[in-house]
Amino acid sequence: MGEVVVPIEDNSKHVLPLYLPPTPVPFQIITIKDTPGAAAGVSLPPQGVVNLSELESWLPLTESRNGSTFSAILHLLCSGIGFQVLFLPVAFASLGWAWGIICSSIAFMWQLYTTWLLVNLHEPVPGIRCSRFVRMSILAFGPKLGKLLAIFPVMYLSGGSCVMFIITAGSSMEQLFNIICEEGTMCGSMSLSGTQWFLVFTCIALIIAQLFPNLNSIARVSLTGAITSIGYCTMIWALSISKGRPNDVSYGIPVADRTGMTGFGNILNAIGIIMLAFRGHNLILEIQGTLPSDSKHPSWKSMWRGVMVSYMIIAMCLFPLAIVGFWAYGNKIPEEGILAAFTKFHGQDTSKYVIGLIYIWLTISCITSYQIYAMPAFDNLEFIYASSKKRRCPGWVRAGIRLFFGGVTFFIAVAFPFLGKLAPLIGGMAAVPLTFVYPCFMWIWIRKPRPKGAMWSLNLGVGSIGIVLSLLLIVAAVWKLDDKGLNANFFRP
């Protein structure tokens, strides 16, 4: 007699919503009799049914498990440092020195803690790996509730982030062109429209996507993204120090902006900016899924080493940028962030090639981040094909899937170029729960710590605070949109 741990599959057919990978839930111990044809206690799947491990070997997220701690560091840096960090000084302008530093530190430690939870939940049962966030959610909360809670956040943080990369990088490329080609020159009169810049970025991103079949293979792309992300963050705060502060910079918060509903809304929006800057949780399990794992060297050890190194570097990028940005521009910093402030106050006395280099690095960072954030979408679309056809995606199908996804994200970016203004609202609904709430309750439901024990109480308390904070951020975002309005420039990027 032998025993083997196998997942119980849903009885439903493999037609799942977008961004929902196949999910084994829950687990069951099945006794398999030693019969001729059953080798080593492992039974063969019925004819016409695809083995789960074989199916995973066909998909982009789990096609290659030959990653290393170094590749995990690169992926974590590329996914963890984004253009959202440019808005951190704006949050400090609403919170002040003390509360800005306190809230940023709490958010960083909170994120690090929930990352630790996910890393240790990646292999909830020996031999079983949850390499997708939605799968982990279904394992923790059940098929119906797990899908309901996780599909939208993962969908938004995958496809929505790619849309934001198109919008941000398209604007950066346009700014770069305007800096290099001055008005009145021949090339200055040949500037492209916003839609055309979006298309240029999308074409570049899709060409790169065709060259790298799976998540593990884009380590070199993530290396480029990590270098450029660290580069533009460091260059901005270093130049802000060297150029000095503009005249009449102050750090006090006006009375009108710190009292009543206005003050409450500004504080919550500032907290939302900080929490959105600490991102990347929707890719933690996926990145860990690229690492090899066995009983002697489980994947969580390599992954946690990568997390510690990468998060140390992330902290050295985010905190100086936030603190120096607020020191340099104080209450004069615009809502567009520190890069807009630097261009406004120091654009005339800074070489256009230096400013252009910042925009180049920001654009490259968006291109590389697009690759890693698009992988869950590629994985899900290929899963739909592979599970229905019961074979690996041919090259032409894989290329078509990626072109289709790029076309959809390009269309949304052109149709909703104001999507960035909705980021606090959607972030409160998607990013904050996925990053700061779900891992806590996943630990309780999967690991089942002793009720009212230390880990049970800690995770219940932290998760509950996260839910309340998420609701408050949604209310504040809705209030701000109602108070200031929304310039919904559909199809006019």
* Mean pLDDT score, 285-295: 92
Under the banding of pLDDT at 50, 70 and 90, the label for residue 189 is low
User: What are the CA-CA distances from residue 57 to residues 60, 65, 111, 290 (Å)?
Assistant: 8, 9, 30, 11
At residue 33, the pLDDT reads 36
Sign of CA dihedral 280, 358, 169, 418: positive
Extended strands (E) in 59-203: none
Sign of the four-CA dihedral 438, 87, 228, 164: positive
The pLDDT score that the predictor gives to residue 185 is 58
pLDDT higher than 60, residue 2: no
pTM for the whole thing? 0.88
Measure the CA–CA gap between 398 and 211, rounded to whole angstroms.
11
Q: Give dist(CA 139, CA 133) in Å, integer.
A: 10
Please, are residues 8 and 29 in contact by the beta-carbon 8 Å criterion?
A: no
Which pLDDT does position 265 carry in this prediction? 85
pLDDT band at 48 (very low <50, low <70, confident <90, very high): low
Region 371-385 average pLDDT: 94
Dihedral angle computed from the Cα positions of residues 466, 471, 473 and 476, in that order, rounded to the nearest 10 degrees: -160
* 3-state SS class at 147: helix
pLDDT at 370: 97
Integer Cα distance of 43 and 345 in angstroms = 69
Q: For residue 178, what pLDDT band results from cuts at 50, 70 and 90?
A: confident
Through-space distance between the first and last CA atoms of the chain, rounded to whole angstroms: 66
Instruction: Give percent above pLDDT 70 in the chain.
Output: 87
* pLDDT at 263 > cutoff 90: no
Residue 489, pLDDT above cutoff 90:
no
Task: Compute the average pLDDT of residues 66-81.
Answer: 95
| AA letter at 261 | M
Q: pLDDT tens digit string along 205-217? A: 999 999 999 999 9
Residue 20: pLDDT band by 50, 70, 90 thresholds? Answer: very low
Confidence of residue 256 (pLDDT cuts 50, 70, 90): low
pLDDT score, position 248:
85
- Tally helices (H) and strands (E) across the chain: 19, 2
Over residues 398-417, the pLDDT tens digits come to 999 999 999 999 999 999 99
Q: How confident is the model at residue 31 (pLDDT cuts 50, 70, 90)?
A: very low
pLDDT, averaged across the chain: 86
Letter for the amino acid at 286?
Answer: E
Choosing among 1.20.1510.10, 2.40.110.10, 1.20.1740.10, 3.40.50.300, the CATH entry for 54-484 is 1.20.1740.10
| Least confident piece of the model among 28-42, 66-80, 153-167, 418-432 | 28-42
Phi/psi at 298 (5° precision):
-65, 155
Q: Find out whether 62 and 299 touch, Cβ atoms under 8 Å.
A: no
Check whether 136 has a pLDDT greater than 70: yes
Region 474-478: what's the mean pLDDT?
89
- C-alpha 26/C-alpha 143 separation (Å) is 9
pLDDT over 90, % of the chain: 63
Q: Which pLDDT value is given to residue 421?
A: 86
Q: What is the pLDDT of residues 84-133, one digit of tens each?
A: 999 999 999 999 999 999 999 999 999 999 999 999 999 988 778 899 99
CA distance 64 to 59: 9
What was the pLDDT predicted at 449? 94
Check residues 40 and 432 and name the one with the higher pLDDT. Answer: 432
* 455 burial level (CB within 10 Å; 0-12, 13-18, 19+): middle
